[in-house]
Each structure stands twice: as C-alpha cells, then as structure tokens.
Structure 1
Amino acid sequence: MPAGLGALALGSFGIGLTEFVIAGLLPQVGRSLAVSEAAAGWLISGYALTVAVGAIVVTAATAGLPRKTVLTGLVALFVVGNLLSAIAPNYPLMLLGRVIAALCHGSFFGIGSLVARRMVAPERASRAVAVMFAGLTVANVLGVPFGALVGERWGWRATFWAITCVGVVAAVAIAVLVPGWAGAANRPHSSKDSGTAIGRADGLRTQLRAFRSGQVWLTLAATALGYGGMFGAFSYLAYTFTRVTGFSSTDVAWLLVVYGSGLVIGNMVGGRAADRNRDLALIASLAGLTVTLATFGLLAASPTASVVLVFLTGLFGFASVPGLITRVTDHARGVPLAASANVSASNIGNALGAWLGGFAISVGLGYTAPLYVGAALVLLGLAVMMIAARRSGRSEPDTTDLGLVHDRASAG
C-alpha cells in the first residue's frame, strides 16, 4: 500500500472522529456551555448541513488548484475548527468551530478519493478508495467510546485537543507522503489549453459540464437512497434495541461497535468486489442491505438475530461506498466536484432517512418502523442502480486523459 494512502486514511480518521465523537459528549458540552438539549443538537445537525453544502462550495472554489495543496489546506482548516472548539468559551464559538471543521469534510473525501485512486493501478481504484475510507469506518467504531472515555477522564475539551493533534499529524503526513504527481491538478485536454485553469480538467466550467451525464445523476440518486436507508435505520437503533429487543441502555455501546465492525469489513470487501465487477457489486450490496433491514424489522425481538443483523447492516451498508464513488467520478470524467457531490448526496440521504424514520415512529408505527422505512429507501436505490447498470451496458467510461491512471511519468 502506498504510504500516501495511509496519510489520507489518517486524515479521514481525524475527520471521522470529529463527526462522530460529539454524540458521546453532547450532555457534557450542553451543561458546560449552559444550552438546552435542542441547541446542543445543532452541534451535530449544523455539522451535517455544512458538510452537504460545503462539499460543493469548497470544491468549486478550489477548482484548478493542485489537489495535494487543497487537501493539505483542508486538513489545516480542520485543525483550526477543532482548535476553536477546544477553546470555545461559549456556544456560538463552539458552533462556529464545528462549522469550520465541517467545511473540509466533503471536499476532503471527494478530492482525496481521486488522489487515492491515482496512486494505484486502474484495476485497484476502488480498493484504494476503500483504504482511504477505512479511517472513517474505524472512527465510526472508536469515535463515540473514545470521546466518552477522554471526556469522562479529562473533560470534553481534551477530546477536541486530541483530535486537533490528529489533524496536525495528518496534515504533515499528507504534505510529506502524498506524491506530487498524484496530487497535481489534472492535465489539460489539449496543448492549446496548456497552463490555463480553464484548460484543466479541474476547471469549474469543465466540472459543471460533467453533470450533464445521466449516469452521474443516477449514481448520486442511488447514493442518497442507499445512505438514507441505512442512516434512517441507524438513527433509531438505540430505541429498537432497548424498546423492542430488550437490551439495556448500557448494551447499546457494544452493539454499535458490532455495527461499526461491519462498516470496516464491508468497506474493504466492497472495494475489492467493485474492482472486479463494480455494478454487480453495487447491486449485490444494495440488495443485501434491503433484505437485511427488512429481516431486522421482522426479527428485532430476538437478541441473537439483532446482533447478527446489526453487523450485516454495517457490512452491506458500507460495501457500496467505494464503488459508488469510483462510479460517479468515472462517469463524470474524473472531476472533483462530482466526487464531492457524492458526499453531499449521502448527507442529504442521511437527513431524509432520519426524518422519515422519526416520522414513522411519531405516527405510531413502532420502533421497528425505521428499519422498514430504511429497507424501502434502499429498495428504491437498488432500482435506480439497476436502471443505471442497464443503461451503461458493458462499456466503461474512458478516464485515461484525466489522470486517473497509475502514471508517475505525468509528474513532469
């Protein structure tokens, strides 16, 4: 594995910690800053909304710049946001720190996924993306318990100081270990365009043209629906476990670790499968998630079945991630804005799934309802993916002119 991939994985681990750690710290933060539970909740929802918008805005604003430079700058922004959170004397500054940190999230994963796949041979592209996202999946497993442990012993501010340190190390690692040829802006399409931002594949006008592709929109829709289904179920798992299955509230933490372990394994397995047959792997993972969520709803009263099914939810839920990212960027001809739009689509899906799951509970459908809602959303995503696969046929988009190949010679 190229050392540069490890540096990107470290960056994704730090960003993942920032996203997930706050859930375990929310009561402490709320008491410390003297705000209500609803206001404290905006430290989570405000972050998510900023990710959805910032992924597009920041990527568009940095169009044409060398990708390695942008990635290093994004992690620096991440450090500033978490440092502000660590020292924030009041709620508005704490929220500002969360917003600043969130601005780097979507663009880092969008641009970073393109840099990651550039460091390996084309047939290993999805696996390279999976390695980068491994940091995020590990953060999902460790984020909440890490935050709770550090916060309990040294206070919630210590957690953000620790994340700030992770960000500093990640920024240095990316600056040193990501090769310049992998993190350069894409080459011009023709010699007459050489040296101009407009002529680069990263130019904003070129990036916007990529969204004329129906395959890009179909993949984004599949992403939103797939993520929405998984997150719609995940958001209310604690209620399902305690109100339906009969687990105690203290059991929820290790059950979420089981779920997170499924994410880690699914991410790596999905990356390998996507490199063999991407569309088939995506269809299989979405179909597996649909069946898993529906079965979970039926068997939620069984503790043994619930443990197995929550693991499978994580496994199938994240198995589609590497393939969806490489698919949308291939059909968008490698432009970073499409990769970042994929992150935005996933966050929009998360918000939709969580809202629909909560609505189902509020109208009296019970605490297994989010599982069925999630299954329905993923089933729609599966249908979209099957349409996309059928329309694309056997042909794969040509990305050789966009630097999405293992080409060290292009450094010159």
Structure 2
Amino acid sequence: MTAAALSIDENKPAAAWAAVLSMALCVAMLITSEFMPVSLLTPMADGLGATEGQTGQAISISGLFAVAASLLITTAAGKLNRKWVLVATTALMLLSLALVAAAPNFAVLMVGRALLGICIGGFWALAAAVIMRLVPQGDVPRALALMFGGQAIAAAFAAPIGSYLGGLFGWREVFWALTPIVAINLVWHVVALPSLPVAQKRDVLGMLGLLKRPYFQRGLIACMLSWGSAFTMFTYLRPFLERVTGVEVTVLSILLLILGCAGFIGTWAAGRFVKGNVAPLLKLPALVMGGATAGLLLLGFSVVAAGLFMAIWGAMNTMFSVIWMTWMSQNVDDAPEAAGSLMVAAIQTSILLGAVVGGMLLDSFSIQATFIGSIALAAAAILLIGDGRKMLKPE
C-alpha cells in the first residue's frame, strides 16, 4: 500500500476521531450481540426447549461463521472501499438481531447467530487495519484503546442490564431493544467514516506468507490459548454463579455489573500503559484471568469473593484485546489486513472451541470441570509466551 492509502487527510483530525468513536460504538454492539446469550443463557434455554450446554452453542456458531468470514473478507471484498464494507457488516448485525429476537425455534436462532458471525468476522478482520489508517502511527495504541472502550461499555452494561431486563420482560425483548442502537450506528458509519479505498487486493497467499513467520505463528497460538481460556469460563459464568455462588437474578446482575465496570479501569490502563515494547505484557491476560478463574473455583461460594475475582477478570478483559492488537500493529505492520484476518480467525476459533468444550464439560461432568479446563488453557498460554521476546519480529 502507498503512504497515501495508509492515512487520511491530516487536516481533518476531527473526522478521524469521530470515525474511531463510531467504530467504538460498533464494537460495543458487536460484543453485546455476540455475548448477550451469556447473561440470558438459562431463560433462552427454557424458552427454546434446549439444554444450557446446547444454548451455549449459539455463541460457538457465531464463532464458526466469524472464522470463515475473517479469512475470506479481504479476498471476497476485493478492492471495495472499506468504508462500505464496514457499513454492510453493521447492516448485517441489525438483521441478525431481528432474527434472533423473533426466532420461533432453535434452528432460526442459530441462523441469526450465523449471520452475526459473518458480521463479527468481517468487522474485526478490518478493524485494526482501518484504525491504522484513521490516525497517525504514534496514536494507534490510543485509538485502539478508545475503540475497545466500546468493549468496556458492553461489558459494563450489556450483561447486567440484559440479565435484569430479561427477568422483567423476557429475553426476546432484550434483543429487540438493541436494534435501534445498531440502526443509529449504521447511520453514524455513513457520516463519520472517510473513504477508505484499497490500493492493492489482498489474497490468501498473503495470509499464508504471514504464517511462515515463526514469531507470528507463536503469537497466534498463544493468543488462541489465552482467548480459549477466557471464554471457556465466561460463556458458562451464569450457571456457575447460580449453582455454586447461589445467586438470584438481582445479585447476578450486580455481579455482572461489577465485572463490566471494572473494564473501564482496564481501558484506562490500556490507554496509559500499552505502548512501546509489548513483549512483557503478552502473558498478563492468561496469568491474571486464569488466576481469577482459579480464585472463583476455590472461593466462588462467597458472593464477596466472586465479586472480587470477577472485577479482576473484567479489568484485564478490556486490556486483553488492546495488548494483542497492539502486538499485531507493531509486528505485522506491512500486512495489517492479512494479519487482522488471521488474528480474528484465531480468536473466534478459540471462542468457538471454548464454548463447545466448556458446554461438553458442563453437560457431561460439572461446572467445576468447565472452569478447570479454562485454567489448564491459561497455564499452557503462559508457558508458551514466556517473556514474550520470541513473539516479536526480528530487528
């Protein structure tokens, strides 16, 4: 790509940051839409006549389609202006929410979640590359932190509000309530995003070339283990809190609110401290979140202890994405779209497998077995990452 294609007109900084904010709202709605079944798992299962483990696959099916979309988007979109690709993915999210809310049975629910997966894969595959074009290189970590501030908003309010409103009005009404916000975001994209033409078409060969880089291979595997650990636990957090901690819907909503509000601390810390050499930071997500999961497993019968460990987990959760996307932007800056596609495919595969394996452990053994599986994956990630230096590109 030419230098001109990697940056927008520097005389329009307001338009660039407005676009970053628009993407932050899209992140909030994507994460809310993707993981809302976590806070509504029990009533959704009851309403659709399925087990909790089966309903958890509503997350894994979106992950499966996100993997496919993330790998194909840069090839399928060809030289289409990336602004309009992002607009199209947001429109697809709107359609998905309507299908899920109106789903008369489990099959239609899964179709809606599959469409959401296409949106997730397409958006995230392009997100980091687009951010790198919206702001100067030195501002990329700050812009990523701002974009992932949408993750903090979703984590803070989506799960507890979804859980609470689901108890009052029903889970379908919660999904319907998201549709006008996504519609507003769709219009904001059209207004705020600058034209983002593609100078050179990316293809599968470019991604295969990246996979030949040893440091990138190690990074992808470590990223997958870390995310797999996180979502083996998070997907089935509600059953744990109901069965082990013994909470009702009101206390459950408060605990989820604590987890989410802690994410704002993580967002602030990411914007302040994630800069320069990220190697020492790469193992922090697996270390801190895995440790918090172990704390829940040991002391989760106490509401106070559960709240404390969920706050720790939530704070690191919002730093997680910034740390790994900053690693990508610094070490694969010559092919950001291809790297973004592979990163998203790796993350979504991990979320998919985490939901599948966690659900199998839950249905076949116990919720404690699901959490033990999460801790094992975190330990594997920590061992692979080490000091992180083997995951940096050669000087």
TM-score range, shorter chain: 0.7 to 0.9
Find the aligned partners of 2:156 and 2:319 in 1 and give their Cα distance: 16
* Residue in 1 that maps onto 2:82: 67
| TM-score, normalised by the number of residues in structure 2 | 0.81
Q: Find the aligned partners of 2:235 and 2:104 in 1 and give their Cα distance.
A: 30
Match of 2:7 in 1: none
Note if contact 2:37-2:56 (Cα within 8 Å) is conserved in structure 1: no
Query: Structure 2 counterpart of 1:347, which letter?
Result: Q
Structural mapping, 1:2-401, within 5 Å: 2-25=17-40, 35-37=49-51, 42-88=57-103, 91-148=106-163, 156-180=171-195, 183-185=196-198, 187=199, 200=200, 202-245=202-245, 247-248=247-248, 250-332=250-332, 333-357=334-358, 367-386=367-386, 388-390=388-390, 392=392, 395=395
Going from structure 1 to structure 2, the CA distance change for 1:329 and 1:210 (only over 3 Å counts) comes to: farther
CA distance in structure 1 between the partners assigned to 2:72 and 2:24 by the alignment: 23
- CA deviation after TM superposition for structure 1 residue 6, in Å: 0.8
Deviations 1:320-363 (A, max 9, x none): 21121232354342332321332222232234344555566677
Hey, what's the Cα distance between the residues in 2 that align with 1:221 and 1:128? 25
Given that 1:300 and 1:368 are in contact with CA atoms closer than 8 Å, whether structure 2 keeps it comes out as: no
Q: Once the 2 structures are TM-superposed, how far is the Cα of residue 152 of structure 1 from its aligned partner?
A: 5.7
Q: Is the 8 A contact 1:117 1:126 kept in 2?
A: no
SS of residue in 1 equivalent to 2:112: helix
Which consecutive unaligned segments of at least 5 residues does structure 2 have?
1-13
CA distance in 1, matches of 2:166, 2:149: 24
Report the Cα offset of residue 52 of structure 1: 2.7
CA distance in 1, matches of 2:182, 2:354: 30
Could you tell which deviates more after superposition, 84-93 or 162-171?
84-93
1:278 to 1:184, Cα distance in 2 relative to 1, 3 A: farther
**How far did residue 272 of structure 1 move?**
3.5
Task: Indicate conservation of the 8 Å contact 1:109/1:343, yes or no.
Answer: yes
1:271 Cα deviation from its structure 2 partner: 4.4
Contact 1:215/1:328 (8 A) holds in 2 = no
Distance change in 2, residues 1:384/1:97 (3 Å): same
* TM-score normalized by the length of structure 1: 0.78
- Distance in 1 (alpha carbons) for counterparts of 2:361 and 2:58: 25
Structure 1 residue aligned with 2:10: none
The total of aligned residue pairs comes to 378
Structure 1's unaligned 5+ residue stretches are 188-199, 396-412
Secondary structure of 1:126's counterpart equals helix
Query: In the alignment, is the contact (CA less than 8 A) between 1:244 and 1:300 conserved in 2?
Result: yes
Query: What code does the residue aligned with 2:342 have?
Result: A
Query: Which amino acid is the alignment partner of residue 346 of structure 1?
Result: I
Q: Which has the higher contact order (CA 8 A, sep 6+)?
A: 2
With over 3 angstroms needed to count, the CA separation of the structure-2 counterparts of 1:154 and 1:392, relative to structure 1, is closer
Structure 1 contact 271–323 (Cα < 8 Å) conserved: no
CA distance in 2: counterparts of 1:320 and 1:220, whole angstroms? 14
Q: Secondary structure at the match of 2:148?
A: helix
Over the matched positions of the two proteins, sequence identity in percent amounts to 25
RMSD of aligned residue pairs (Cα, Å):
3.2
Tell me, yes or no, if the aligned pair for 2:232 and 2:354 is still in contact at 8 Å.
Answer: yes
Q: Aligned-pair distance for 1:255?
A: 1.3
Q: Quick one: structure 1 residues 86 and 355, their matched pair in 2 at CA, closer, same or farther if it must change by over 3 Å? A: closer
Kept after mapping to 2: 8 A contact 1:7/1:177: yes
1:104 is paired with a residue of what secondary structure? helix
Residue by residue over 1:372-404, the C-alpha shift from the partner in whole angstroms, topping out at 9 and shown as x without a partner, is 432331222123323752353773xxxxxxxxx
